Structure formats: structure tokens, C-alpha cells
């Protein structure tokens, strides 16, 4: 049976799985990325985990290749560069290191781009030629498909939409020092910052007045909104407003047929999606109105990133 190894390298966990051509993840496991501060140890660990997964079924699998999704990965250079959420600093030639240990076809890509490819091959973007996957987690990532192809950019770093300046430089700083950058507003972290902002701006009572910033969690903000906390409701509305503007801006760039929204922030459900629909439609240019869908991912939550990474290899075989 043909199989692809999918690897999702995240700041906290590195997840590895075996993915079928239908996009099913048969075997999967993970380890903690931070336990391998030396990149060579990390690569050795990946190698041994893949070996283990395969040996569970020694005769059955024909490995077509290894696909990797990682933050700040350059598909063209095979590197991870200046990833603020990873432990390895500077430029890491990860593909070259893995290739010296494993001799099957191998590709790496920005994790949000891999998610977009996964959505196209296995998820809800089947048959679409123009769409954008937006990942709203600790940061803000984007995988952009136009004319049926992923936009990589000249050097493999397209889609860094979390660092688009929304405010003419008069706003919050992102982790990479962009003043007014989108991810400082629209992400799980951005939502927490907005809770503080709303408490500074309004005097409404709120459960968050007795909770420190570092103890704030997305689920609690959702819960508070459910219970009518005015600060939580205002924070979601503000976040949705800025996300709506951002998606309207991105529409003017590549006019996607749909945006697929995933990641932790989407766990807040209607509190983010309902105001988002309203604002997005308000801000869209007339020529785009009624033509751009806001959709959920069709990928199963826990294996979505692994399957997206595997799609890098599967797209050459389907």
C-alpha cells in the first residue's frame, strides 16, 4: 500500500503520521520539539520515529515520500528561516539534513501553505482554483492558491499575512516588530491583547478585571461571552471587525472563491463568525459582493496539519 509520511513541526509539538491517498492518517505520534534544541538530534529523532511507525506494519507500506509543514519554511530553499516560535535560530537547512538520512522524495513548505494543499486534495477546497486558507492560532498564517497553484513567492516566503500593516504604522507591534501588523490583533494572542484594550477603553464590569494577562485563555473568553460578559463580547466584535477588513483587503489582491478559516480562534464559534460575516460583507468592494465564501476546513482537526504536509507529496501522485 502506498503511503506518505506527513510531518508537522510546531513550536510545541512535532507530529508525524502515515497518510493514505484518500488523506486518511493511519498511524500517528508526536514528540516535544523543544526537547531537541540541537537540530541534528531533532533530525535523528524524526528518522527514528518514522522507522518505528513503519515497522509496526513492516511489509505493507511503500513510502512515496516525506512532506513537512513548518512555520517560516521556504519550499524553494528547503530551509526554516527566522522562525520566532521555534527553538533553532537563523537559517536551518532541514531538508538537506533529512535527505542525508532518508532517501525518498522530500518536500517542505510553510505550514499554512501545506494546510491549503491539504484542503485542496483532501478537504473542502476540492475542485477550487482560487482560495485562501487562514490559520488563526498563536499567530496568523495564510496559504494562498491562485490559478490552481500555491503561491510560493520568489523565495518561498509568500503568505506572511500576519505581518501586513493595517494601521499606517500606528498600532500594536507583532512578534516580528511590525507596527500595526494583523496578527497583533487577529490571533489567539491578539484576542487576549484586545481584552486588555477593551478594559482600558470601557468601564464595564468583567470577570477579566480580576484575571492577569498571562492567565487569560481563549476558551475562557468564549465562555465569558456566552455568559454575557460585555468586555468579551466587545473583544470578539473588534477582532471580527479587523479580520473582516483584512479578508476584504486580501480579496482585492487575488479574489479567492473562498476563505477557509481554521485554528484556535475559530474554536470560539459564532462569537467570531457571526460578526465576521457582517463586517466582511460590509467592507467588500461592490464588484466582489456575494462572490466570496467564508468556509470551515474539511480536514479533521488533530490530523489536519499532518495530512496537509503529506499533500506536498501526494499532489505529485494523484
Q: What is the spatial distance between Cα 297 and Cα 150, in angstroms, rounded to a whole number?
A: 17
Opening angle at CA 246, ends 229 and 278, nearest 5:
55
Q: What is the DSSP letter of 173?
A: B
Candidates 33, 72, 194, 222: give the one binding a second copy (CB under 8 A).
72
Minimum CB distance to a second copy smaller for 47 or for 283: 283
143-182: contacts with a second copy (CB under 8 A): 144, 146-147, 149, 151-161, 163-169, 171, 176, 178
SS3 annotation, 30-85:
EEEHHHCCCHHHHHHHHHHHHHHHHHCCCCCCEEEEEEEEECCEECCCCEEECCCC
Candidates 42, 61, 122, 250: give the one binding a second copy (CB under 8 A).
250
21-60: contacts with a second copy (CB under 8 A): none
Q: What is the spatial distance between Cα 57 and Cα 271, in angstroms, rounded to a whole number?
A: 45
Residues facing 179 on adjacent strands: 173
Stretch that binds a second copy, among 12-20, 224-232, 242-250, 261-269 (CB under 8 A): 242-250
Contact between 78 and 268 under an 8 Å Cβ cutoff? The reply is: no
Minimum CB distance to a second copy smaller for 18 or for 284: 284
Minimum CB distance to a second copy smaller for 63 or for 151: 151
Minimum CB distance to a second copy smaller for 16 or for 125: 125
Q: How many residues of this chain bind a second copy (CB under 8 A)? A: 48
b/e burial code for range 23-61 (CB count within 10 A of at least 16 → b): bebbbbebbebeebeebeebbebbeebbeebbeeeeeeb
User: What character string, x for contact with a second copy (CB under 8 A) and - otherwise, covers 278-307?
Assistant: -----x-xxxx--xx---------------
List contacts with a second copy (CB under 8 A): 72, 81-82, 129-130, 144, 146-147, 149, 151-161, 163-169, 171, 176, 178, 242, 245, 248-250, 252-257, 283, 285-288, 291-292
Amino acid at each position: 500500500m502506498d503511503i506518505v509520511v506527513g510531518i508537522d513541526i510546531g513550536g510545541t509539538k512535532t507530529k508525524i503520521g502515515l497518510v493514505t491517498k484518500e488523506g486518511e492518517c493511519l498511524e500517528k505520534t508526536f514528540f516535544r520539539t523543544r526537547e531537541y534544541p540541537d537540530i541534528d538530534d531533532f533530525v535523528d529523532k524524526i528518522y527514528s520515529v518514522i522507522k518505528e511507525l513503519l515497522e509496526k506494519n513492516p511489509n505493507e507500506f511503500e513510502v512515496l515520500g516525506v512532506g513537512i509543514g513548518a512555520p517560516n519554511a521556504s519550499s524553494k530553499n528547503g530551509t526554516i528561516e527566522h522562525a520566532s516560535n521555534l527553538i533553532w535560530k537563523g537559517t536551518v537547512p532541514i531538508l538537506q539534513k533529512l535527505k542525508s538520512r532518508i532517501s525518498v522524495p522530500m518536500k517542505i513548505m510553510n505550514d499554512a501553505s501545506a494546510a491549503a494543499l491539504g484542503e485542496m486534495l483532501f478537504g473542502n477546497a476540492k475542485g477550487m482554483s482560487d482560495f485562501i486558507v487562514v490559520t488563526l492560532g498563536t499567530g496568523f498564517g495564510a496559504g494562498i492558491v491562485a490559478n490552481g497553484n500555491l503561491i510560493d513567492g520568489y523565495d518561498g516566503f509568500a503568505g506572511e499575512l500576519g505581518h501586513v500593516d493595517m494601521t499606517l504604522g500606528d498600532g500594536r507591534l507583532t512578534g516580528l516588530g511590525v507596527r500595526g501588523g494583523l496578527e497583533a490583533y487577529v490571533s489567539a494572542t491578539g484576542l487576549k491583547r484586545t481584552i486588555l484594550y477593551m478594559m482600558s477603553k470601557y468601564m464595564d464590569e468583567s470577570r477579566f478585571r480580576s484575571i492577569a494577562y498571562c492567565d487569560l485563555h481563549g476558551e475562557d473568553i468564549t465562555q465569558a461571552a456566552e455568559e454575557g460578559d460585555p468586555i468579551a463580547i466587545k473583544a470578539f466584535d473588534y477582532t471580527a471587525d479587523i479580520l473582516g477588513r483584512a479578508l476584504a483587503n486580501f480579496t482585492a489582491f487575488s479574489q479567492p472563491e473562498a476563505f477557509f478559516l481554521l485554528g484556535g480562534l475559530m474554536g470560539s464559534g459564532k462569537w467570531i463568525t457571526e460578526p465576521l460575516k457582517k463586517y466582511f460583507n460590509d467592507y467588500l468592494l461592490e464588484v466582489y459582493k456575494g462572490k466570496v465564501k467564508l468556509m470551515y476546513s474539511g480536514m479533521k482537526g488533530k490530523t489536519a496539519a499532518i495530512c496537509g504536509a503529506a499533500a506536498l507529496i501526494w499532489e505529485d501522485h494523484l
